[in-house]
Amino acid sequence: MAIEIPKLPEHMHSGATRFIGRDVKRVEDPALVSGTVEFIDNLDIPGMLHCAILRSPHPHARVLKVDTSAAEALEGVAAVLTGEDARRWSNPAYTAPEGWGAYCVAVDKVRFVGEPVAAVAAENRYIAEDALELIRVEYELLPPLATPQAAMAPGAPVLFEAHDSNVVQSRVYNWGEVDRLFAEADHVVSNSFRWNRVGANPTETFGCICQWDLAENSLTVHGAYQTPRFWVAARAMALNLPSNKVRIVSHPMGGSFGGKGGPRGTDISALLSRKSEGRPVKYIEDRMEYLIAGFSQSWDRHYEASLAVKADGTVTGFKVRLIDDQGAGTEGWGTISVAKPLAAFTGPYRIEAARYDTVLVATNRAPSGAYRGYGPPPHFLVLESLMDMTARKLAIDPAELRRRNYLRPEQFPYTTPAGNEYDSGNYEAVLDKLLAMADYRGLREEQSRARAAGRLIGIGVASTVEPGVFDWNAYATVGVPGIGVPEGVKLAFDVFGNLTVVVGFTLQGQGQYTVAAQIAADYWGMDFNAVKVTTAATDVTPPHFGPGGSRLGVAIAGAVLGASQKLEDLFCCVVAHVMQTQPDQVELMDGRLRLKQNPAVGMSVAEVAGLMLSRADLLPPGVEPCPEATYVWTAPNRTMPDEEGRCRSYLTAANATHLVMLEIDRETGRTDILKYFIVDDCGTRLNPGNLEGQLQGALAQGVGAALYEEYVYSDDAQPLVTTYVDYLIPTIHEIPMAKKDFVVTPSPFTPLGAKGCGEGAMHTTPAVIHCAVNDALAPLGLEIRETPASPRRLWQLLHQAK
């Protein structure tokens, strides 16, 4: 029987929903607050060694000689790993596009400060660190390339010798008649923007324990992995192991946000285990290693962009030229962040045509990685800033300008010029609710009074679309193949009728186990706390990907519902056989399998499960004694990209509009956020508490990117930000608690109508804050177009104006 997944909670046929959409207490939290969660650093395996990594102090150098003899002689050292070992036993990291990855330990040359040049496994971390001090490395310095401009200059040294330049990819996408629309425009609003490096900073850095089984030639890895199956495949390729001989046991994580990199840490620990007779080797990345050389850095961008605008404020065309500093190769999958904006290139607007001119460049900065939002947040800062510049130029209120350009509800499903299809939305309803909640008119009046008194008060209104539920085809343009991102669950009832939901991913903070439990409990009419959600190693769980690309809430809903329906069909067969009727005469309702004609007659779910496992004699012929089902969900109807990269990629298009009011201190350049409002629409809200957390957390990261955080490099490519003294993550004192409300426009394409919303406010907060900062500066004729709008930058701007 075909599986039909309910499109709305109201369509759940097995009884009224009691948990979906409610603010239930999260199943993850008791263990987290009581400290019983086993994070990787808490785990000790008998015989375990500890790894420390020697890292390059140079951004670009040839490695002439690595002398490890003194380190090897130190008591307590089991093995020292060098580039020679890496060359012998492993392959460079697989990347997309191919050929821009390095070995886990530098072979021949180093390309960024912090790149591993040797590693030690010892009885404890202290000895391992001591041993590092005994390793002598001879370098021949090469010219450092600190910027893409330097890396593209004629005669610049080439970082990866297999290529003849440092340009990883140069590609122009044309969607529609851009040139004509710009020629016909009444106004063209153009500007340049600089988005400086920011990135994920989870509380827990990466960590793993690797054990190479020399007899079986297999690898078992315990560790903090966001997408374990993905890394299994990559590790097998890097370490020359059959993929079925690499097994990852993911541990709960203290956050990730995309920054849980770890390929090098894993490969180094694995090879150290191999070199020390298969003893387990633990590597816990420390904070300096994470900040300098982990996947902590993303989005290093130089933009030039323009809007074509009609006299009435209608925006008809959008052109973006992006030079993206990928850093020393693409092992961190930073290329994806350039491709992802295709999924929502024109944001919430009815823009007819667009051009995206991209140049991805390798430099001697750290390889850039994934970060919440994975590319669109800087893109939307550019688009929303241009919208505000247009509003100022045309003297139209910025909220009104957006309203005039929004897609209208009847236009959905809407195919954007860049090819993706938006599922649904009602942007004007979101804006109306926001403006009413914030008392927009009142705020503008307050602003004029404050301005008259000489204060620099700014108001920003910004609208964005969040591409949700990613598919690989979204990244095909940078060389990632395929369609379909399987997310599987196994539902298993035991002999007492208790239900276990086995998923392929582990805790990371978002609360997806709770969502799985809510849906399963509603389907099976059980108590929500009675559902056990658990994970298992990569080799036994169904195909899965895990969190990423704002997809897991939707995907897990689909998987739980699909598996539930499979199992319900099976239970109906069993009950029909016992009751001597046809399966279609049996239905699941409120936790019982009952006869449609005579609802008083039936069996509880527990009775059916127990019967299946203990009374094989009562089962219909051909039915196995197995009250379990697996279902693997992936987004339907995705398409291969055409020659301009156009395809149906991300399944959902959530949207949000934010409003912020802030004040700049003229003398210090400091920005204080006074008021913050959010209205969002991510379709059906499966768990309001989870959503509130996602929104507020992404808002915090957005405030960081807008005002505080920046990985600074010197002109010779030395990282100047190496600790939290200089990487300034805003704290509870700097982050406003936003006043929030929502609109619900269910997705017609997804399980229960939910949309991906995990990255959420990260798309909007940096944009809206910059819009407000520039609104505050507007009376002075000043404008900031670089992130973060730090006090120093604002002071310099204000100071130069005097």
Calpha distance 523→48 (Å, rounded): 45
Of the residues 269, 464, 550, 718, which one makes contact with other proteins according to CB under 8 A:
718
Nearer to other proteins, 113 or 552 (CB): 113
Least distance in Å: CB of 327 to other proteins? 17
Q: Which of 292, 354, 418, 705 binds other proteins (CB under 8 A)?
A: 292
Stretch that binds other proteins, among 226-234, 628-636, 724-732, 777-785 (CB under 8 A): 724-732
120 near other proteins (CB under 8 A): no
The contact pattern for other proteins, residues 638-677, with x = CB under 8 A and - = no contact, is -----------------------------xxxx-------
Residue selected from 37, 167, 429, 728 as contacting other proteins according to rule CB under 8 A: 728
The yes or no reply on residue 264 touching other proteins (CB under 8 A) is no
Using CB under 8 A, which residues numbered 360 to 379 contact other proteins?
none
Of 73-81, 411-419, 443-451, 717-725, the window that binds other proteins (rule: CB under 8 A) is: 717-725
Chain centroid to Cα 670, Å, comes to 30
534, 599 Cβ separation under 8 angstroms:
no
**In this chain, which of 16, 31, 172, 712 binds other proteins, going by CB under 8 A?**
712
Please count the other Cβ atoms lying within 10 Å of the Cβ belonging to residue 484. Answer: 15
Q: Minimal distance in Å, beta carbon 534 to other proteins? A: 34
Q: What is the distance between the alpha carbons of residues 659 and 670, in angstroms, rounded to a whole number?
A: 19
Query: CA-to-CA distance for 69 and 64, rounded, in angstroms?
Result: 16
Distance of closest approach, residue 49 Cβ to other proteins, in angstroms:
15
Q: Give the C-alpha separation, 211 to 241, whole Å.
A: 13
- 706-708-709-712 Cα dihedral, nearest 10 degrees: 110
With CA atoms as reference, report the closest residue to 160 among 212, 223, 108: 108
- For other proteins, which residue of 175, 345, 708, 749 counts as binding (CB under 8 A)? 708
Q: How many CB atoms lie within 10 A of CB 539?
A: 16
Compute the least distance from the CB of residue 284 to other proteins, in Å: 10
Question: In one letter, which amino acid is 617?
Answer: D
Q: Minimal distance in Å, beta carbon 57 to other proteins?
A: 3
CA 537 to chain CA centroid, nearest Å: 22
Task: Please give the full DSSP string across 494-511, using - where no structure is assigned.
Answer: -TT--EEEEES----SS-
- Between 11 and 799, name the residue whose CB sits nearer to other proteins: 799
446 part of the interface to other proteins, by CB under 8 A: no
- Contact flag: residue 799 with other proteins (CB under 8 A): yes
Query: Is 688 strand, coil or helix?
Result: helix
CB 459 within 8 A of CB 391: no
| Cβ at position 195, least distance to other proteins in Å | 17
User: Residues in contact with other proteins, total (CB under 8 A)?
Assistant: 47
Cα–Cα distance for residue pair 361/328, rounded to 1 Å: 9
* Window 452 to 471, contacts with other proteins (CB under 8 A): none
Q: Which of residues 58-97 bind other proteins (CB under 8 A)?
A: 58
DSSP 692-747: HHHHHHHHHHHHIIIII----B-TTS-BS--STTTS----TTTS---EEEE-----
CB 712 to other proteins: min, Å: 5
CB 38 within 8 A of CB 535: no
Nearer to other proteins, 52 or 407 (CB): 52
CB of 67 to other proteins, least distance (A): 12
Quick one: which of 177, 734, 783, 786 contacts other proteins (CB under 8 A)?
734
Of 22, 171, 287, 566, which lies in the binding site for other proteins, with binding defined by CB under 8 A?
A: 287
Out of 723, 748, 779, 801, name the contact with other proteins by CB under 8 A.
Answer: 723
Query: Does position 725 bind other proteins by CB under 8 A?
Result: yes
Ramachandran angles phi, psi of 765, nearest 5°: -60, -50
- What is the rounded CA–CA span in Å between residue 79 and residue 90? 17
Question: How far is C-alpha 689 from the chain's CA centre?
Answer: 20
- Residue selected from 454, 733, 737, 800 as contacting other proteins according to rule CB under 8 A: 733
**Judged by CB under 8 A, does residue 500 bind other proteins?**
no
**C-beta closer to other proteins: residue 248 or 769:** 769
Per rule CB under 8 A, is residue 55 in the interface with other proteins?
yes
Residue 520 host element (H or E) = helix 512-524
The answer to whether residues 59 and 274 touch, using CB atoms and an 8 Å cutoff, is: no
Q: By CB under 8 A, is residue 357 in contact with other proteins? A: no
Helix locations, 196-335, DSSP H: 228-239, 263-275, 287-293
DSSP code of residue 154: T
3-state DSSP assignment of residue 234: helix
Peptide bond into 791 cis (omega under 30): no
- Between CA 9 and CA 16 the distance in angstroms is 9
State how far the alpha carbon of 107 is from the alpha carbons of 72, 91, 166, 557, 605, in Å.
20, 11, 19, 45, 60
Could you say which of 278, 486, 525, 791 contacts other proteins (CB under 8 A)?
A: 791
The reply on whether position 790 binds other proteins by CB under 8 A is yes
Q: How far is the CB of 239 from other proteins (least distance, A)?
A: 25
Min CB(54)–other proteins separation in Å: 7
Identity of the residue, 129 or 177, whose beta carbon is nearer to other proteins in the bound complex: 129
Given 52, 221, 354, 686, the residue binding other proteins (CB under 8 A): 52
> Does residue number 198 form part of the binding site for other proteins (CB under 8 A)?
no
Question: Footprint of other proteins on residues 384-423 (CB under 8 A)?
Answer: none
Q: Is 187 in the site for other proteins (CB under 8 A)?
A: no
- Closest approach of Cβ 710 to other proteins, in Å? 8
Q: What's the CA gap between 28 and 589, in Å, rounded?
A: 28
668 CB-side CA count, 13 A: 6
Residue that has been written with the tokens 């209120």 in this structure: 397
Q: How far is the CB of 692 from other proteins (least distance, A)?
A: 24
Residue 269, Cα to own-chain centre: how many angstroms? 26
Interface with other proteins (CB under 8 A), residue from 29, 38, 108, 133: 133
Q: Applying CB under 8 A, which of residues 289, 324, 471, 680 lies at the interface with other proteins? A: 289
Q: Which of 602, 730, 746, 751 is in the footprint of other proteins by CB under 8 A?
A: 730
Q: Please report, as residue ranges, which positions from 138 to 167 form the binding site for other proteins (by CB under 8 A).
A: 138
3-class secondary structure, 632:
strand
In the sheet with 628-633, reading across from the earlier edge strand, the strands are 532-535, 499-503, 487-493, 628-633
- Residues near other proteins (CB under 8 A): 52, 54-55, 57-58, 113-114, 125-126, 129-130, 132-133, 136-138, 286-289, 292, 667-670, 708, 712, 714, 716, 718, 720-723, 725-726, 728, 730-731, 733-734, 790-792, 795-796, 799
